[in-house]
């Protein structure tokens, strides 16, 4: 079941959901709107290797915006830092973003219970489009779970994205090959 606005507020009061910064006007009837942070990143190499640490270059979105181009993967980040201690968060693109031909995630829309960080966005576009720092980019939806969680994301030894950041984080797939 998806949490309603009332339940999201109740869970925030209990501390099981954290959104910072939080503004009540971005709370929808069953979701919370998140915004594009000021940093983007692109991979340094045109060819990526899942077994290697593919490095990225970070840069800021200028005040007059930045034109994203097709056939290029951009890593973005949410302005909002979130914590989810008892629910499964899903990040979906806003319909207005989709109608501009912007995809904000290729495969990573679901978070884990215990995820505490900003969200890295895997941004691609269908045609050139100008984007801006602080623009609404997605919405978080929270699902109830059935059963007790034995190991939350923040306590997993294999968790690769626990370091708090305000910048996009590159793929850490290469760590899966370290045995």
Mapped onto helix, strand or coil, the DSSP state of residue 9 is helix
> What are the backbone angles phi and psi of residue 174, rounded to the nearest 5°?
-55, -25
* 69 within 8 A of 42, measured Cβ to Cβ: no
Instruction: Give the catalytic positions in this structure.
Output: 122
Q: What six digits make up the tokens of 52?
A: 């290697």
- Judge residue 9's burial from the number of C-beta atoms within 10 Å of its C-beta, 0-12 exposed, 13-18 middle, 19 or more buried: middle
Comparing CA positions, the residue from 111, 122, 89 lying closest to residue 159 is 111
Comparing CA positions, the residue from 99, 89, 113, 114 lying closest to residue 34 is 89
Contacts of 167 (CB under 8 A, 6+ apart): 37, 39, 41, 58, 77
């Amino acid at each position: 079941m998806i949490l309603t606005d009332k339940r999201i507020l109740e869970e925030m009061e209990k501390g099981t959901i954290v959104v910072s910064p939080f503004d009540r006007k971005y709370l929808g009837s069953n979701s919370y709107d998140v915004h594009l942070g000021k940093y983007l990143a692109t991979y340094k190499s045109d060819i990526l290797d899942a077994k290697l640490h593919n490095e990225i270059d970070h840069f800021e979105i200028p005040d007059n915006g930045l034109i994203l181009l097709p056939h290029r993967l951009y890593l973005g980040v949410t302005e909002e830092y979130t914590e989810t201690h008892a629910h499964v968060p899903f990040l979906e693109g806003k319909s207005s973003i989709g109608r501009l031909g912007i995809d904000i995630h290729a495969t990573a829309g679901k978070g884990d219970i215990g995820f505490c960080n900003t969200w890295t966005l895997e941004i691609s576009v269908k045609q050139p489009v100008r984007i801006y720092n602080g623009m609404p980019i997605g919405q978080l939806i929270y699902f109830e779970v059935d059963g007790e969680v034995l190991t939350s994301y923040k306590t997993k030894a294999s968790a690769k994205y626990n370091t708090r950041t305000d910048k996009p984080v590159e793929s850490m797939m290469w760590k899966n090959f370290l045995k």
